[in-house]
Amino acid sequence: MEVILRQAVDSLGHAGDLVKVSSGYARNFLLPRGMALPATEGNKKRISMEKAKLIAAEQARVASAEEEAKKFADLSITFAARVGEEGKLFGSVTAGDIAEQLKAQGLHVEKRQIDLHEPIKALGVYKVAIKLHADVKPEVKVWVIKG
């Protein structure tokens, strides 16, 4: 199914792009959330007229995300955790834990914006990306120390 994106979507495209996706993805995710429109002739004409507005709005979102990314520039978070043998943690550090630490430092980030594929289960220093926008992903240093 072909759809016209109304906003940037990770690994798919930017606002105004005509992309081909599976019909289930379009019907169940993109269309209900207002992220895309079906690629009909009427919508193509409408989007071509709105494309300048969409591009300006997208640039404004990128600019605000880059402004917010400056707050994360040299930020580091420390977790003190109980450790067993070989430096393995009792428990783990999750995206929710990182979001709480950031909130305590005055930065509002939802845990789904934190790009942590698996919970951290060992001591060390980790770089974790924060997804503020599809094109803006600042990294935060996460220190896990023996506590």
Residue 57, domain CATH: 3.40.5.10
- Same structural domain, 64 and 77: no
Confidence (pLDDT) at 73: 82
Please check whether residues 104 and 140 belong to one and the same domain: yes
One domain, residues 61 and 103: no
Q: Is the pLDDT of residue 29 over 90?
A: yes
Residues 79 and 37 in one domain: no
Residue 22: pLDDT band (50, 70, 90) is: very high
Instruction: Let me know whether 140 and 80 are in one domain.
Output: yes
Residues 62 and 85 reside in one and the same domain: no
The answer to whether residues 26 and 64 belong to one domain is yes
| pLDDT band with cut points at 50, 70 and 90 for residue 31 | very high
Please write the tens of the pLDDT for every residue from 44-86: 888 888 777 878 888 898 899 899 889 888 889 999 988 887 7
3-state secondary structure of 12: coil
Q: How far apart are CA 84 and CA 88, in angstroms?
A: 5
Judged on CB neighbours under 10 Å (0-12, 13-18, 19+), 71 is: middle
> pLDDT band at 6, cuts 50/70/90?
confident
Q: Are residues 83 and 135 in the same domain?
A: yes
Backbone angles phi, psi at 74, to 5 degrees: -115, 35
Asked whether residue 8 falls in the same domain as residue 64, the answer is yes
**Across residues 36-47, what is the average pLDDT?**
88
pLDDT at 114: 93
93-146 pLDDT, tens per residue?
A: 999 999 999 999 888 899 899 999 899 988 999 999 999 888 889 999 999 998
Judge whether residue 87 has pLDDT over 80: no
Q: Are 13 and 59 found together in one domain?
A: yes
Task: Indicate if 77 and 140 belong to the same structural domain.
Answer: yes
Bridge-based pairing state of the strands 114-115 and 88-93: unpaired
Q: Could you tell me the CA-to-CA distances from 30 to 8, 9, 19 in Å, in that order?
A: 11, 9, 12
Specify whether 77 is located in the same domain as 65. Answer: no
Question: Does residue 7 register a pLDDT over 80?
Answer: yes
Last residue of a domain, which of 42, 69, 96? 69
At 27, is the pLDDT very low, low, confident or very high (cuts 50, 70, 90)?
Answer: very high
Domain count for the chain:
2
Residues in the chain: 147
Domain that residue 23 falls in: 2-69
The CA distances from residue 130 to 18, 134, 137, in Å, are 27, 10, 5
Decide if 144 contacts 101 (C-beta within 8 A): no
